[in-house]
């Protein structure tokens, strides 16, 4: 299914300013603004009263594809709107690769704005993110009764599921992966402990230590005697410091998938290291949430040692102790 808004007029003038943006970037930015304007007139992302059926309406996110002028025809309009009806619309785009005729891609969807001010209410909003194949992008957020918020058009590489996915459709690099994998290693360990503790409540410290990934990562045998939280924290930081996301990504492809995110090898290969890092990390609950879930199902002494290990791994952001501790 495709939609047929009128094609944007090609820009007739452009700036010859020198600086960080090239002339091609400026032209791409002008085209992004024209397409965004067309989408806002044709494809409402925020509509309080639905007056007619709209397969690409606020409840249905859509992939936007803009073709070059030579490829556009009566059967293939310049701007296509392809509804994304899967439960996770962004995940459904993993593996998509741009055809040679694609000038830009994007995602438009209804969303919820969450103000950073304490006590402020959430509000419905519409999101349009567009990416030119040159790497220039533009994001527009529409809120009812407020002026739109616009980011770009510029060549900045932004992080997030939508920007990452759009960039990989064009095989462009995403934002760099975090340099330190300690947080991921710890959360993966806590997730394994939680999985085991839910099946066998009351796990003790030696059993929890056996589930740690650091002995495997460091190439060391699992010790027969228990390790102190300080020693395990030192080993965890050292082992995590030897890792990098590109090597881990390559290993997951070779092993047949990612054990924490359930990503399959073809999806991992489609991502670059930066997107893979963010996707894998986001698939795990945060440290604080995992500790809250673990406390009721672990031996109390074991939980204290686990909490101490996590604290010593991140002395700059120690988990908040519970009020009754």
Question: Is the residue at 322 inside a domain?
Answer: no
**Which residues form the domain of 251?**
182-317
* Pair (129, 216) in one structural domain: no
Same domain, 223 and 161: no
241-258: burial string, b at 16+ Cβ within 10 Å, e else: eebbbeebbeebbeeeeb
Point out the domain boundary residue: 120, 142, 169.
Answer: 169
Q: Confirm whether 6 is domain-assigned.
A: no
One domain, residues 133 and 46: yes
- Number of domains observed in the structure of the chain: 2
Boundary residue ending a domain (144, 169, 194): 169
Could you tell me if 221 and 121 lie in one domain? no
Whether 154 and 210 map to the same domain: the answer is no
Residue 106 lies in a domain: yes
Q: How far is CA 309 from CA 14, 127, 235, 236, 264, in A?
A: 58, 41, 10, 9, 32
Same domain for 230 and 130: no
End-to-end CA gap in the chain: 58
Query: Is 130 found in the same domain as 43?
Result: yes
Does any domain span residue 211?
Answer: yes
- Indicate whether 298 and 160 sit together in one domain: no
Does residue 114 sit in the same domain as residue 201? no
8 within domain boundaries:
no
> Residue 139 corresponds to which tokens in the numbers above?
């994001």
pLDDT tens sequence for the chain (325 residues): 444 444 444 433 333 333 345 667 777 778 787 777 766 554 444 444 344 444 444 457 899 999 987 766 656 668 888 999 999 999 999 999 999 999 999 998 887 777 767 766 777 778 899 999 999 999 988 877 778 888 989 999 999 999 999 999 999 999 999 998 989 989 989 998 999 999 999 999 989 988 887 766 655 566 666 788 998 898 888 888 888 899 889 989 998 998 888 899 999 999 999 999 999 999 999 999 999 999 999 999 999 999 999 999 875 554 555 545 4
Q: Which of 112, 137, 169 is the last residue of a domain?
A: 169
Residues paired with 105 in a beta bridge: 65, 131
* 165 and 191 inside one domain: no
The set of residues, in sequence order, having a beta carbon less than 8 Å from that of 187 and lying 6+ positions away, is 281, 284, 285, 286, 287, 290
Are residue 118 and residue 197 in the same domain, yes or no? no
> Residues 118, 57: one domain?
yes
């Amino acid at each position: 299914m495709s939609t047929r808004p009128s094609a944007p007029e090609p820009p007739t003038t452009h700036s010859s300013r020198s600086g960080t943006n090239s002339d091609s970037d400026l032209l791409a930015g002008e085209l992004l603004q024209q397409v965004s304007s067309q989408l806002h007139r044709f494809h409402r992302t925020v509509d309080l009263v639905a007056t007619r059926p709209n397969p690409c309406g606020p409840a249905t996110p859509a992939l936007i594809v803009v073709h070059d002028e030579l490829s556009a025809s009566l059967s293939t309009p310049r701007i296509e709107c392809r509804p994304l009806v899967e439960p996770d619309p962004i995940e459904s785009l993993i593996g998509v690769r741009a055809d040679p005729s694609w000038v830009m891609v994007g995602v438009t969807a209804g969303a919820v704005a969450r103000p950073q001010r304490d006590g402020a209410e959430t509000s419905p909003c519409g999101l349009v993110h567009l990416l030119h194949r040159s790497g220039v992008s533009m994001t527009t957020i529409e809120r009812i009764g407020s002026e739109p918020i616009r980011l770009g058009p510029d060549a900045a590489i932004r992080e997030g599921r939508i920007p990452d996915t759009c960039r990989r459709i064009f095989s462009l690099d995403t934002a760099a992966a975090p340099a330190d994998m300690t947080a991921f290693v710890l959360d993966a360990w806590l997730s394994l402990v939680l999985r085991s503790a839910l099946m066998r409540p009351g796990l003790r410290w030696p059993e929890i230590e056996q589930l740690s990934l650091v002995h495997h990562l460091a190439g060391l045998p699992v010790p027969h005697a228990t390790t102190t939280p300080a020693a395990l924290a030192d080993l965890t930081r050292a082992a995590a410091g030897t890792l990098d996301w590109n090597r881990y990504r390559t290993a997951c492809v070779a092993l047949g998938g990612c054990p924490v995110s359930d990503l399959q090898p073809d999806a991992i290969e489609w991502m670059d290291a930066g997107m893979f890092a963010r996707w894998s990390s986001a698939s795990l609950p945060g440290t604080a949430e995992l500790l809250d879930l673990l406390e009721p199902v672990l031996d109390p002494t074991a939980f204290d040692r686990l909490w101490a290990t996590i604290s010593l791994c991140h002395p700059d952001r120690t988990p908040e102790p519970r009020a009754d501790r």
